Amino acid sequence: MTPGATATTAVLESISLADVENAARVIAGQVLRTPCTPSKVLSKLTGAEVWIKFENFQFTASFKERGAVNKLTSLTAAERAAGVAAMSAGNHAQAVAYHATRLGIKSCIVMPMNTPFTKVRNTRELGGEVILHGETLADSFEFMQRELVVGRGMTLVHPYDDPRVMAGQGTIALEMLADVPELDTLVIPIGGGGLFSGNAVAAHGLRPDIRMIGVESAGYCSAFAAINGDSSLARGGPTIAEGIAVKGIGRHTLPIIRAHAHELVRVEESAIERAIGLLANVEKVVAEGAGATGLAALITDPAKYAGRKVGLILCGGNIDPRLLSSVLLRQLVHESRLVSLSIEIEDSPGFLARVAGCVGLSGGNIVQVHHERLTTGLHVKSATLEMLVEAQDELHSQQIASDLRGHGYVVHRIDGGYSQVD
């Protein structure tokens, strides 16, 4: 646990197990009860017994619907008539817009100016009024509070720092422990802390012995920074895990994280990318960066979880298709299933066909070819073939290069922009 904390630490918590159980009754039939299934391949890879809760199967592809529904259904008639306001750059916006519209409540969502157009469009199509304002979520929140909550009298539906929202998110743990009571560890992403807090209270209310591990992006470790009293630890910067890229932890969530987290883990971008690739290739599901951070923690330090029965929450699947494509291709390069080869040849008719034939006989698949004749240093009668080749794995990549060498060619393997002679 975090320093000085235990699962039974006496803290003034804003929600209880009873609140989460009530939320479960409220949201029943309004959100999907998602499956929680074992992964044999990921279990073999990590040494843990891995179970995945697929919250990306929700209609808006994230867990945010649970908290939104629990909050929206609690509104008075006057509050419903005035409408609700939220600030978000993605998942929360879509969850609030969808369920507010379904319940006949007007919603207005403030999003930063740089929010991807697809997320803006999706929120509007789900029935929300969208206002683009500010460069950051902090700017959007300030505008929303001033213009919508104070100015129009709308009710704030906070993305994480609200007891009813937190209780709604905690229903995930109730379902996981009902389906897989033998789980002994839950590994949960932390952004503002609503997902972790709700599930920690629920899990420890049912099973005080269960280990709760919070996972943050290394650049946005807001909980870790707050607990250690050093805001500079949350350094910011670009991240693929936008859904948990929160620099400020919640006022309600921080005390719960202090009391219930056995450990806070920070994961690097490379691990998150690899986890997205594994979920796509192994589980055949799309995960956004935030949704893959739990698995990223396991593959970063598998010894820590070896032999344990681990539950992961795949909390969302809203990732830009172009970004997903880039991640998957980078993963193929990392696994040596896509390799770049630079091959010196004589600039004469037929040489390209000979090299291509050699690669084909070695079982490689040529994806891309560039014929370079103008590079400084080459003989005027020489050329370089730059090939992107698909292979089975690292050993197969080495075999392709070796076979080319065996036919008399000088082969350079290019990895990450560096050329290595095979």
Range of the domain at 127: 84-153
Q: Which is it for the CA torsion 318, 324, 328, 331, positive or negative? A: negative
Residues 251 and 299 in one domain: yes
User: Residue 12 domain-assigned?
Assistant: no
Residues 246 and 276 in one domain: yes
Instruction: Write the pLDDT tens digit of every residue in 15-55.
Output: 999 999 999 999 999 999 999 999 999 999 999 999 999 99
The pLDDT value given to residue 419: 42
* End position of a domain, from candidates 127, 153, 179: 153
Residues 186 and 317 in one domain: yes
Residues 277 and 375 in one domain: no
Question: Which segments of 236-350 are extended strands (E)?
Answer: 263-267, 309-314, 338-346
Residues 234 and 137 in one domain: no
Residues 91 and 121 in one domain: yes
- Let me know: does 143 contact 133? Beta carbons within 8 Å: yes
In angstroms, how far is the first alpha carbon of the chain from the final one? 49
| Domain count along the chain | 3
* End position of a domain, from candidates 330, 361, 383: 330
**158 — alpha (psi -120 to 50), left (phi > 0) or beta?**
beta
Q: What is the CATH number of the domain that holds 399?
A: 3.30.70.260
Instruction: Write the pLDDT tens digit of every residue in 211-262.
Output: 999 999 999 999 999 999 998 888 888 889 988 988 889 999 999 999 999 9
Residues 179 and 276 in one domain: yes
Residues 270 and 341 in one domain: no
In the predicted structure, residue 418 carries a pLDDT above the cut 70: no
Q: What is the CATH number of the domain that holds 185?
A: 3.40.50.1100
Rounded to whole angstroms, the Cα distance separating 235 from 86 reads 26
The pLDDT value given to residue 270: 94
User: Residue 394 domain-assigned?
Assistant: yes
Residues 115 and 207 in one domain: no
Residues 194 and 316 in one domain: yes
* End position of a domain, from candidates 95, 122, 153: 153
User: Residue 68 domain-assigned?
Assistant: no
Residues 297 and 340 in one domain: no
pTM of the predicted protein model:
0.87
The pLDDT value given to residue 242: 87
Residue 94 pLDDT level (bands cut at 50, 70, 90) = very high
Percent of the chain with pLDDT strictly greater than 70: 93
Residues 261 and 217 in one domain: yes
